[in-house]
Amino acid sequence: MKTALFCAALLCGGVALAAEPGARSPAKGAATKPVAAASPANSAAELAEADALFAKKSYPEALAKYTKLANAGNVMAQQHLGEMYFYGEAGSVDMDKAAQWFQKAAAKGNAVAIASLELMKQREARRADLDYWLAKYDGSDLRTNDYRCPAPRFPAMSKVNEEIDYYSGKMKDWEACHNRWVKQLNASLPLTKRIPEDIAKLMTKDETEKANAHLKEVGDRLAEDTKVAGKMVVADFDAWRAGTEAYVKEHNEMVKNAPPPDNGK
């Protein structure tokens, strides 16, 4: 019925038809006939509009235009729609919808869609590795034997030189180990540097942000634990040294003030 009315209007002459937004006027002399689908020119113009909206981060508007074009069979719109669902720009990450649109585009030979499907396949195969860096990494791999620094335990005081030398040596060894660990930790920060490149490239934008936040938290915790542990050891050592020095001073005073031995008896 719509086609018949359209033709009748043309036969009557003098009736102007409003063009759809973005449509080009038919060339002079070209036969006018009903349009069953969007012309390539219209499709290209709408795709350019969708791309411009996406570039401005007007994602809901871009999504609507890409969806319309993708449903009409536009392969580039299908690719972009898959990407929007993959990266969460369609409102949230939806891997099922991303795969569906990539598959449609890939079936028409779209190289990006084909590569994206392979990427999604790799993500499934490396899921455990992705989860490790997103939430499970704890920095324990940084503490190899060279950087394990057991805190020495000090008595309240030491009364003989051999024991004083022993605990002074223990503190010196711990301090050297602690300084090595601090240097190692500082060189390892930010911990995002430790994500293997082949894993990093599989992450979505949201996953990359989540991994960054998790690894920053781990790095901050390691730094804080190191600071607290160091302060505790230094406090214990200072208490031992103060007690030892007080004993040595008192002992020396007693020796100094002791009456001389009576050698005549």
pLDDT tens per residue, range 55-92? 999 999 999 999 999 999 999 999 999 999 998 899 88
In a domain, 83, yes or no: yes
Q: Tell whether 198 and 229 lie within a shared domain.
A: yes
Measured CA to CA in angstroms, residue 213 lies from 209, 216, 217, 263 at distances of 6, 5, 6, 79
Q: Per mean pLDDT, which range of 1-15, 152-166, 197-211 is the poorest? A: 1-15
Write out the two tokens for 37: 């689908």
In a domain, 205, yes or no: yes
pTM of the model: 0.70
pLDDT in tens, 242-265: 999 999 999 888 888 878 776 655
Where is the domain boundary, 99, 125, 151? 125
What one-character-per-residue DSSP string does the chain give?
Answer: -HHHHHHHHHHH-S---PPPTTPPPPPTTPPP----S--HHHHHHHHHHHHHHHHTT-HHHHHHHHHHHHHTT-HHHHHHHHHHHHHTTTSS--HHHHHHHHHHHHTTT-HHHHHHHHHHHHHHHTHHHHHIIIII--SGGG--GGG--PPP---S---SHHHHHHHHHHHHHHHHHHHHHHHHHHHH-SGGGGS-HHHHTT--HHHHHHHHHHHHHHHHHHHHHHHHHHHHHHHHHHHHHHHHHHHHHHHHHHHHHSPPP-TT-
Q: For residue 28, what pLDDT band results from cuts at 50, 70 and 90?
A: very low
In a domain, 18, yes or no: no
Percent of the chain's residues with pLDDT above 90? 74
In a domain, 195, yes or no: yes
The residue among 204 and 81 whose pLDDT is bigger is 81
Question: Mean of the per-residue pLDDT values for the chain?
Answer: 85
In a domain, 262, yes or no: no
Q: Tell whether 90 and 179 lie within a shared domain.
A: no
Q: Tell whether 198 and 215 lie within a shared domain.
A: yes
Q: Tell whether 145 and 249 lie within a shared domain.
A: yes
In a domain, 6, yes or no: no
In a domain, 240, yes or no: yes
Q: Tell whether 185 and 235 lie within a shared domain.
A: yes
Write out the two tokens for 172: 């010196």
Where is the domain boundary, 125, 146, 177? 125
Number of domains within the chain: 2
Q: Tell whether 65 and 86 lie within a shared domain.
A: yes
In a domain, 31, yes or no: no
Q: Tell whether 153 and 216 lie within a shared domain.
A: yes
The reported pLDDT for the residue numbered 256 is 80
Q: Per mean pLDDT, which range of 33-47, 88-102, 188-202, 204-218 is the poorest? A: 33-47
Q: Tell whether 120 and 140 lie within a shared domain.
A: no
- Domain of 95 in residue numbering reads as 42-125
Where is the domain boundary, 108, 125, 142? 125
pLDDT exceeds cutoff 50 at 37: no
Q: Tell whether 136 and 172 lie within a shared domain.
A: yes
The residue among 9 and 134 whose pLDDT is bigger is 134
Q: Tell whether 115 and 138 lie within a shared domain.
A: no
52: domain CATH number? 1.25.40.10
Q: Tell whether 56 and 96 lie within a shared domain.
A: yes
Q: Tell whether 120 and 134 lie within a shared domain.
A: no
